[in-house]
């Protein structure tokens, strides 16, 4: 069947690393700047505050921080990395790869495949599937997939409440895996729910169209195929992770697919840091891996506008070791800024 | 516009300086910045002594007032050095943040 | 062989909007030539001290530029640059030109035009005096001295008030100098209240952006009454602060001073009047110590007690011209102006600023945060 891949050799996650900038702005403060009701915004989006990058951070520096942590956790050498894909909606250059700047700073050397990916919020998970294929084919032994964003949004637009910044990096391989990739699917269509034209600073979106025909159709499309392919159902999983554009959508889709609140809860980073676009799903996965035990199954479906969803089934192994710089550690390591400072740090003034 | 060749030659040294720990031995806060740094001011500049020897002058980021003290532990990270104009190559380099 | 100063003159220092570099040079050099009693045709070599003409004004090749402008037709001409020590270094080169035996009579011009440009651009250009690492860190020139100030404060208990006392003294001296940029005395309170430029340095801890020029005529041929240069010494240290052995002393100053005292056959205590490099108030405190005039850690107290101020001085008078702080700091001109002031003092012509009975004068000129130091000793 189209869209389904058979995993021949075992491929999975060797290590992971995440990075969340320390600055936060409360949604209430953004609302106040526009003379809106803070509690109304917070309750409708189910997000209280979002992460803001420092003025001198960008997708390159954030991708690098996450990758350094993934490398440190793997105890491997940078030169062992043979493929590096960076997915982002805020690559600093339209032409000039983020991946080679990061690769150079990591000290990978020259013998690797580097490419930048764009597919709204699912660019990095697409990168993971591509790397899985390279590893399964025997072409590559170790690959690094990174999702990093300093997401932009137009002031006074609804996206301003959730567009955030963070990075997540996954080293994938075939040996010493902390989580095995049991199956993956992808569901794609041409759906213009959210876009940004070349040379334009802020993205545009089609309002409520981003709901049912976009997010829900694709996440559920990919999820359904994944259940069929693996002949599983929600109760077979300990955890589920979905892309988190706000606090409502992942909760709704989890419920509609038949997952419980408990299965979803550890992944819900959106409540505290908002939506860091290409890092969203992968940060949710990291938050789960931070607390998971061996032999637990994780159901993960990302979403990128335009549109598509990548679905993954992971199973943790006994190699899951001690975790440093967990997602929760970083969520707690925060300092608040006001709206004016937010505008400065996101280069709007 | 910054020379891309000069940036390329100097950026090769940046990766090797990443992740080094040390402590602050003196500091200032620059409040009247030069042209390229105007969007970042006020910012602290610190003189750091690395564990294992060697010193560096670098901008301190992600800081609170309590971090501006001699003996404060720091680690080297990569950030954008300045905000480039719309045409130029972006310079990435070493800054330090409190540990 | 003795090198004598037969002519010395300086322009007013300040924000001289209507005055071009050519006019500044003429004013200073015409004055020096008149003072010397010789004509332009006798000048065999011109040594120009300047830092920013290229970076800010797009004009390099200042030796030929000013030789032409000043009518030194076909003379030898060289531009010398060492950041804020450019003027002192130009004098050093001129002295060596004579001591080498190649030239009998030479001219020195220190000149700088800074107010044509935006302060942010001047600040950027001044960072050229430091290391590339310091530039990448965004550390401005005041920032570098602020880092030194903090180290001195931590080690010796130097206070903001101690540093402010330097500014107060030098503004008082400047009020007696018609060529100075600033005319009114200031108070310690005013210094402390002015806005911070680079913590802990405030605006009034910093020398200003200025225009100005100063000129000297040096010769082997002299009158018995001419002021003589009895020492000219240069020393360097690392460009950047991160590579220095010490943050509480400028080794380049110590080295240059040691060499100068040896050349002149005198000691620090023999100096009656000194023009030292107070680009920032802390710099004068460091200078006093590194020149061996006081012990390390003792300078601040002495300055506060008025021991180096005109009228109350117990020892050498420091910066009777007002220093860089009070008289102004057109970068390339400063080192030359310092010597012009000493000449005036040693001739007994300093009027309200006169240091009575001055016999030995010392000029101390520093480049960057201490990477270059030039010390001249003059005898009346």
ipTM, interface predicted TM-score of the complex: 0.94
- A42/A161 Cα distance (integer angstroms): 9
Paired strand residues for A51: A24
Does the structure show a pLDDT above 80 at C315? yes
Paired strand residues for A23: A52, A335
CB contact under 8 A, B83 and A64: no
Residue A121 known to be catalytic: yes
Q: If you search the block for the tokens 């072409």, which residue do you land on? A: A139
**What domains are defined for chain B?**
4-98 (2.40.50)
In this structure, the strands spanning A194-195 and A204-205 are antiparallel
Does the structure show a pLDDT above 70 at A73? yes
Please state whether the peptide bond connecting residue A32 to the residue before it is cis, i.e. omega within 30 degrees of 0: no
Per-residue model confidence as pLDDT tens digits over A75-131: 899 999 999 999 999 999 999 999 999 999 999 999 999 999 999 999 999 999 999
pLDDT attached to residue A5: 47
Q: Are C281 and C164 in contact (CB under 8 A)?
A: yes
- B41/B34 Cα distance (integer angstroms): 9
Does the structure show a pLDDT above 90 at A166? yes
Give burial (CB, 10 Å; 0-12/13-18/19+) of C349: exposed
Does the structure show a pLDDT above 80 at C150? yes
Closest to A58 (Cβ–Cβ): which among B11, B39, B80? B80
What does the DSSP assignment read for C251-275?
HHHHHHHHHHHHHHT--GGG--EEE
Closest to A105 (Cβ–Cβ): which among B39, B78, B81? B78
pLDDT attached to residue A261: 97
**Arithmetic mean of pLDDT, A254-265:** 98
CB contact under 8 A, A65 and B77: yes
Q: Are C46 and C217 in contact (CB under 8 A)?
A: no
CA C150 vs CA A118, C74, C117: distances in Å: 48, 50, 30
Give burial (CB, 10 Å; 0-12/13-18/19+) of C72: buried
Class of the domain covering C3-117+210-219: alpha beta
pLDDT attached to residue A8: 55
pLDDT attached to residue C1: 81
Per-residue model confidence as pLDDT tens digits over A214-230: 999 999 999 999 999 99
**Arithmetic mean of pLDDT, C316-335:** 98
**Which alpha helices (DSSP H) does chain C contain, by range?**
21-36, 53-57, 62-69, 86-99, 119-126, 132-136, 141-156, 160-174, 188-193, 251-264, 281-290, 299-304, 323-327, 331-346
The separation between CA A10 and the C-alpha centre of its own chain, rounded to angstroms, equals 23
Neighbours of A137 (CB within 10 A): 11
Per-residue model confidence as pLDDT tens digits over A130-161: 999 999 999 999 999 999 999 899 999 999 99
Number of domains chain A contains: 1
Per-residue model confidence as pLDDT tens digits over C281-306: 999 999 999 999 999 999 999 999 99
Per-residue model confidence as pLDDT tens digits over A11-34: 999 999 999 999 999 999 999 999
CB contact under 8 A, C123 and B33: yes
| Least confident residue range of A263-277, B3-17, C259-273, C343-357 | B3-17
Structure tokens at A49: 């505050």
Per-residue model confidence as pLDDT tens digits over A286-335: 999 999 999 999 999 999 999 999 999 999 999 998 888 999 999 999 99
pLDDT attached to residue C14: 98
Q: Which residues contact A93 (CB under 8 A, 6 or more apart)?
A: B90
User: What CATH number did the domain enclosing A65 receive?
Assistant: 3.40.47.10
pLDDT attached to residue A316: 97
| pLDDT band for position B12 (cuts 50, 70, 90) | confident
The phi-psi region of residue C311 (left if phi > 0; otherwise alpha if psi is between -120 and 50; otherwise beta) is: left
The phi-psi region of residue C8 (left if phi > 0; otherwise alpha if psi is between -120 and 50; otherwise beta) is: beta
| pLDDT band for position A3 (cuts 50, 70, 90) | very low
Which residues in chain B have their CB less than 8 angstroms from residue A105's CB? 11, 14-15, 18, 78, 92
**Arithmetic mean of pLDDT, A47-64:** 97
Does the structure show a pLDDT above 50 at C239? yes
pLDDT attached to residue B1: 67
- C53/C22 Cα distance (integer angstroms): 12
Q: Are A61 and A20 in contact (CB under 8 A)?
A: no
Which residues in chain B have their CB less than 8 angstroms from residue A93's CB? 90
Computed over every residue of chain C, the mean pLDDT equals 97
Per-residue model confidence as pLDDT tens digits over C195-213: 999 999 999 999 999 999 9
Paired strand residues for B22: B50, B74
So where are chain C's domains?
3-117+210-219
**Measured between CA atoms, how close is B63 to chain A, in angstroms?**
10
- C103/C97 Cα distance (integer angstroms): 6
Q: Subunits with at least 3 CB pairs below 8 A relative to chain A?
A: B
Domain range enclosing A329: 1-349
Q: If you search the block for the tokens 């516009």, which residue do you land on? A: B1
CB contact under 8 A, C147 and B27: yes
């Amino acid at each position: 069947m189209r869209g389904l891949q058979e995993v021949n050799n075992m491929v999975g996650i060797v290590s992971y690393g995440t990075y969340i900038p320390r600055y936060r702005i409360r949604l209430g403060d953004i609302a106040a700047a526009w003379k809106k009701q803070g509690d109304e915004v917070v309750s409708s989006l189910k997000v209280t505050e979002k992460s803001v990058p420092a003025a001198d951070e960008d997708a390159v520096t954030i991708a690098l921080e996450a990758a350094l942590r993934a490398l440190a956790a793997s105890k491997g050498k940078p030169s062992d990395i043979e493929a590096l894909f960076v997915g982002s909606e805020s690559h600093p250059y339209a032409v000039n790869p983020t991946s080679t700047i990061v690769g150079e700073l990591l000290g990978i050397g020259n013998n690797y495949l580097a490419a930048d990916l764009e597919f709204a919020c699912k660019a990095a998970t697409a990168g993971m599937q591509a790397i899985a294929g390279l590893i399964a084919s025997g072409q590559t032994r170790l690959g690094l997939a990174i999702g990093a964003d300093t997401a932009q949004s137009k002031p006074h637009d609804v996206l301003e409440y959730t567009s955030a910044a963070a990075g997540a990096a996954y080293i994938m391989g075939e040996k010493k895996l902390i989580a095995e990739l049991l199956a993956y699917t992808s569901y794609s269509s041409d759906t213009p729910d959210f876009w940004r034209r070349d040379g334009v600073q802020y993205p545009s979106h089609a309002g409520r169209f981003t709901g049912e025909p976009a997010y829900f159709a694709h996440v559920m499309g990919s999820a359904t195929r994944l259940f069929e392919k693996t002949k599983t159902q929600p109760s077979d999983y300990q955890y589920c992770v979905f892309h988190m554009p706000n606090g409502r959508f992942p909760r709704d889709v989890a419920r509609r697919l038949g997952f419980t609140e408990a299965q979803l809860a550890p992944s819900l980073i959106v409540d505290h840091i908002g939506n860091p676009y290409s890092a969203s799903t992968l940060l949710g996965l990291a938050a789960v891996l931070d607390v998971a035990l061996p032999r637990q199954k994780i159901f993960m479906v990302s979403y990128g506008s335009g549109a598509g969803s990548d679905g993954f089934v992971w199973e943790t192994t006994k190699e899951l070791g001690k975790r440093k710089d967990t997602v929760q550690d970083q969520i707690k390591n925060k300092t608040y800024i006001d709206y004016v400072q937010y505008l400065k740090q996101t280069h709007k003034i | 516009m910054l020379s891309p060749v000069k940036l390329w030659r100097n950026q090769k040294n940046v990766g090797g300086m990443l992740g080094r720990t040390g402590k602050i031995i003196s500091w200032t806060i620059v409040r009247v910045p030069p042209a390229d740094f105007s969007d970042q001011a006020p910012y602290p500049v610190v003189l750091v002594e690395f564990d294992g020897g060697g010193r560096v002058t670098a901008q301190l980021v992600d800081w609170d007032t309590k971090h501006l003290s001699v003996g404060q532990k720091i680690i080297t990270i990569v950030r954008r050095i300045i905000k480039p104009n719309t045409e130029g190559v972006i310079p990435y380099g070493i800054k330090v943040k409190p540990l | 062989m003795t090198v004598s100063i037969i002519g010395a003159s300086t322009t007013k220092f300040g924000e001289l909007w209507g005055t071009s570099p050519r006019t500044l040079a003429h004013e200073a050099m015409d004055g020096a030539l008149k003072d010397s009693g010789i004509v332009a045709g006798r000048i065999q070599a011109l040594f120009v001290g300047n830092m920013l003409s290229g970076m800010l004004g797009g004009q390099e090749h200042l030796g030929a530029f000013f030789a032409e402008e000043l009518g030194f037709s076909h003379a030898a001409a060289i531009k010398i640059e060492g950041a804020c020590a450019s003027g002192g270094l130009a004098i050093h080169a001129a002295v060596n030109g004579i001591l080498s035996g190649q030239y009998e009579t030479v001219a020195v011009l220190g000149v700088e035009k800074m107010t044509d440009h935006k302060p942010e651009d001047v600040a950027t250009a001044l960072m050229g005096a430091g290391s590339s690492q310091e530039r990448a860190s965004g550390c401005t020139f005041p920032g570098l001295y602020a880092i030194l100030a903090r180290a001195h404060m931590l080690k010796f208990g130097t206070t903001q008030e101690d540093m402010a006392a330097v500014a107060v003294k030098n503004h008082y001296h400047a009020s007696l100098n018609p060529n100075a940029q600033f005319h009114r005395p200031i108070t310690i309170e005013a210094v402390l209240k002015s806005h911070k430029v680079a913590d802990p340095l405030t605006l009034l801890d910093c020398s200003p952006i200025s225009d100005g020029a100063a000129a000297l005529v040096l010769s082997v041929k002299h009158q018995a009454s001419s002021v003589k240069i009895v020492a000219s010494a240069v020393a360097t240290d690392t460009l950047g602060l991160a590579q220095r052995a010490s943050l509480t002393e400028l080794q380049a100053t110590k080295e240059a001073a040691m060499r100068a005292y040896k050349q002149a056959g005198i000691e620090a205590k023999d100096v009656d009047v000194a023009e030292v490099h107070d680009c920032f108030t802390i710099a004068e405190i460091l200078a006093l110590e590194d020149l061996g005039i006081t012990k390390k850690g003792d300078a601040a107290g002495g300055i506060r007690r008025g021991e180096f101020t005109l009228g109350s001085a117990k020892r050498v008078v420091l910066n009777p011209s007002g220093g860089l702080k009070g008289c102004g700091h057109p970068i390339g001109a400063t080192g030359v102006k310092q010597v012009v002031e000493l000449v005036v003092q040693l001739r007994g012509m300093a009027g309200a600023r006169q240091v009575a009975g001055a016999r030995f004068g010392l000029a101390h000129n520093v480049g960057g945060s201490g990477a270059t130091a030039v010390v001249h000793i003059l005898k009346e």
